[in-house]
Amino acid sequence: MIKEGITGQAEALVTDENTAACVGSGTLPVFATPAMVSLVEKAAWTSVAPELSNGESTVGTAMTLSHVSATPLGMKVTARTRLTAIDRRKLTFSWEAYDETGLIGEGTHERFIVNDQKFIEKAEGKKK
């Protein structure tokens, strides 16, 4: 059962592949904002996944963020999430991201619980 207070965590090493220069969000060899978003999403979805019914997943629908400090190549980044609100199928998380020297980002993230089959069928229906 999903309850407020569930926490999640995900980590990544800053490599060429997740820099702003590589993902197209800038020109510098530092941890990209889109990579931070992805890490936050991973921390959030993996934190609630064990509590879902078979055939259910969560999908990200909203993100607010402040990316307050750059992280260079070779440093570890850790994203931490906390489930702060549940409104039927909508889950709201607060989050923070850190590198080895301190806070690099923070914000909120929303996810919705979906039925996998119905979600994919609806997405595939766009092809018709």
Tens digit of pLDDT for each residue in 7-66?
Answer: 999 999 999 999 999 999 999 999 999 999 999 999 999 999 999 999 999 999 999 999
H or E element, residue 42: helix 33-48
Q: Which candidate in 58, 67, 71, 81 is catalytic?
A: 67
So where are the chain's domains? 7-127
Q: Which candidate in 19, 41, 81, 109 is catalytic?
A: 41
Report d(CA 81, CA 47) in Å as an integer: 8
Residue with tokens 């965590």: 9
Catalytic residue list contains 67: yes
> Looking at residues 110-115, what average pLDDT do you find?
98
pTM comes to: 0.96
Q: Which fold has domain 7-127?
A: Thiol Ester Dehydrase; Chain A (3.10.129)
Task: Read off the tokens for 7.
Answer: 């926490």
Catalytic residue list contains 33: yes
Residue with tokens 């260079």: 72
